[in-house]
Amino acid sequence: MIQSASESVEHLFGWTPTELFGRDIKVLIPQARRSALDQYLNRYRRADKDKALARSRRFDALRKDGSVFPIELSMSRADLPINAVPFFIGIIRDVSRQIDIGEQLTGERARLQHLVTEQTRALATANLRLHLADRLASLGTLAAGLGHDMSNVLLPVRARLDALEHAGIPAAAVAHVTAVRQSIGYLQHLSDGLHYLTLDPDAKTDVESNRATTHLKPWWEQVGPLLRRAVPRHVNLLAMLGVHLPAVQIAPHLLTQAVLNLIVNAGEAIPKGRRAGRVLILAKTSSDGRTVKLDITDNGIGMASAVQRRAMDMFFTTKSRGMGTGLGLPLARKVAVQSGGDLEIRSVAGKGTTASLILPTVGKSAGRVDGSQKQPRIAAVSLRDHRTTALVSQILIAGGVELKAARTDRPGTSDLWVTEPTSASLVAAGRWRKRRAGNNGAPPAIVLLGEPSKRSRRAWTGLGVIVVAPPSDVAAIRHAIGEVIGGWTTPLRKKAS
């Protein structure tokens, strides 16, 4: 029975000390806890009484208005000589605020633990991507070196083959030379493909600044043998590119990297167990002739609508960890958009996907000579590398063009000059064109082997040169010289062997 209470109980319980006097202590305890109080008192009577009062306890208490709140109770016993019955003194603390703070701390601890877990997972993913990037960088370095060394080896071989064919060889040896040339051509395609793959798509190169163009048919002849190895063995890669497609406004290496990403995705979308797996590359010109659509179509598993909506998001991938970075489609679209085009995805779950690179077309090549002018008959070659000089000379001779020895700073009276982007050749080219214009002659054609520096690029561009980069690209050299010779209208005079 309550014998006395301090004034603070009114703030805590809502009862005044007078109202509590003489009442059973159970009036301050919820109904559900009252039987537990009886059990506690019984244990107190039987057990070590001092030990039973030694610790504080937390439990729910009952206010006068019926609300329940948590308290901490510390009990002590007072034996007075004047009373036969002992007194018990209880000190009560409202611990609602502490419990609320504890719950908040527990929630915050759980949130921080979840955040640490997520950050740890993100760090592991970043480390994995960094590891993959290091591997790709190593592979890129290896590919660049391999492509460069292959070109250095193949250049003199092709020059010697050209020399053999024009020097006259026995009929019995023609088939053997042709077979060797085919093998050399295949290796050159692989070398060119490695070169395109190792160029940085984000680098602002001079070729991109000049709005480089690509002819799809010769481009595929160069990179096709390499890209065919980007699809699994159970997938057949087919390409249908028309001969008369217009050139597209994109650098060859950028197109290679965009198509490579799309081909890899298409090949990996075809399960190994599927028979007749196929990736088809199809190019067609729009009705107005302003764009070319390059479709990469597979008959793989396709995409669900939810996946298709997020396909262009950076780092979004449905592949397992370590198998995909989620960058292929975004990078391909970035290349297309930077070139003035776009990338579209159409897919049907279970039937396949078509990725369409939409690329703007361009007009005739800037380096083509006007067909109305008189046929130039003399060409000068001013190159430091004797192997490249021999190759260019054989190409010119095969086209019926007479050669004239020339110094780097003196192209002479030639109508076509094949030279390098040096400061001396730039000065000579400017004087050469000015002299020809003063004599009412046709402007000469200049084929430049190598990219000019940023400082001299504008000056070279003003001269209307045809740039071949890299200068070891045999197919590009042939194409550039063919562009000039193809613009001459009168029949070419063949030089006697």
Residue 470: pLDDT band by 50, 70, 90 thresholds? confident
What are the tens digits of pLDDT across the range 22-49?
Answer: 898 888 989 888 887 778 777 777 765 5
pLDDT > 70: percent of the chain:
74
What pLDDT sits at residue 365? 36
295: nearest Cα among 272, 278, 312, 308:
278
Contact 245, 292 (CB under 8 A): yes
Q: In what order do the strands lie in the sheet with 57-62?
A: 57-62, 68-78, 87-94
232 or 317, higher pLDDT: 232
Contact 381, 425 (CB under 8 A): no
- pLDDT, residue 319, reads 56
| Neighbour count for residue 380 (Cβ, 10 Å) | 22
Under a CB-based contact definition with an 8 Å cutoff, are residues 21 and 5 in contact? Answer: yes
User: d(Cα 85, Cα 205) in Å, to the nearest integer?
Assistant: 101
**Residue 254's pLDDT is what?**
82
pLDDT of residue 148: 62
* pLDDT beyond 50 at 496: no
Residues 282, 245: Cα–Cα separation, whole Å: 11
Domains, in order of start, for the chain:
8-94 (3.30.450.20), 211-363 (3.30.565.10), 378-486 (3.40.50.2300)
At 305-326, the pLDDT tens digits run 777 776 666 555 655 444 444 4
What pLDDT sits at residue 295?
Answer: 92
- pLDDT tens digits for range 373-394: 344 467 888 888 777 777 777 7
In which band, very low, low, confident or very high, does the pLDDT at 106 lie, cut at 50, 70 and 90?
A: confident
State the pLDDT at residue 372. Answer: 37
Across 110-114, 357-361, 423-427, least confident range: 423-427
Name residue 31's amino acid: Q
Q: Does the predicted TM-score (pTM) go above 0.75?
A: no
Contact 419, 449 (CB under 8 A): yes
Q: Which of 62-76, 185-199, 290-304 has the lowest mean pLDDT?
A: 185-199
pLDDT at residue 324, as a whole number? 45
pLDDT computed for residue 243 by the predictor:
67
Mean pLDDT for all residues in the chain: 76
On whether the CB atoms of residues 155 and 388 are closer than 8 A, the answer is yes
Strand-by-strand arrangement of the 352-360 sheet: 235-240, 277-285, 291-298, 352-360, 342-348
Please say if the pLDDT value at position 336 is more than 60.
Answer: yes
Question: For residues 431 and 146, which has the higher predicted lDDT (pLDDT)?
Answer: 431
